[in-house]
Amino acid sequence: MKKLLAIIVLGLLYCNVGFAAEYTTKTYINCEPKFKDKWFKTVITDVKYIGFNPSVIYYEWHSKKKKFLKKSERFKVWDYQYIFQINHRLDDKIYKWDELQIDRYTGIMKAQKWYNNTLTKEKHVSSDREFHCEKIEEKDLLKIKTKKQKF
């Protein structure tokens, strides 16, 4: 009976260590838009390269400073996707933000523009765009030089 209990405890400890290792390391991804347009121009440049750990998303990579300029702590982890919000702003009593959803298995990120009218308390979402993302190493990120995008 003691051996069975020891095997169960060791099995649970092993599973917990494997689960913790997945979320404690910082991960970097490169996202390419499926279609380029002016409506999502700021989102395309901001989320070209993303770094994230369990509680914070880093975005808007600056190649000369070799660091991310912005971060967002509005971050959720679901079973198969990461959901986070960026570019929060207030324009004429309308609160705006961009919501990004990254599917962990397919590597597809969907970007949506959200609007919240502070007077009527109504939320609206505009059309969404798809990005194809792939994991990259930190050493590859440091070598990247930004290019001006043409739209």
- The DSSP code sequence of 55-124 is S-EEEEEETTTTEEEEEE--EEE-SSEEEEEEEEEEETTEEEEEEEEEETTT-EEEEEEEEEETTT--EE
Q: Amino acid identity of 64?
A: K
Nearest in space to 97 (alpha carbons), one of 125, 76, 77: 125
Nearest in space to 111 (alpha carbons), one of 48, 53, 68: 48
pLDDT at residue number 126: 75
Inform me whether the pLDDT recorded for 149 exceeds 70: no
Cβ atoms of residues 109 and 102 within 8 Å: yes
pLDDT at residue number 18: 43
Inform me whether the pLDDT recorded for 132 exceeds 50: yes
| Cα separation, 33 vs 113, whole angstroms | 15
> Mean pLDDT highest for which of 3-7, 43-47, 145-149?
3-7
Condensed to tens digits (0 to 9), the pLDDT of residues 59-113 reads: 888 888 888 888 888 888 888 888 888 877 787 777 888 888 888 889 898 888 8
pLDDT bin (cut points 50, 70, 90) of residue 47 is confident
Query: Measured between alpha carbons, how far is residue 126 from residues 47, 70, 72, 99 in Å?
Result: 18, 23, 21, 11
Count of residues in the chain: 151
pLDDT bin (cut points 50, 70, 90) of residue 32 is confident
What mean pLDDT is reported for the chain? 77
Inform me whether the pLDDT recorded for 44 exceeds 80: no
pLDDT bin (cut points 50, 70, 90) of residue 14 is low
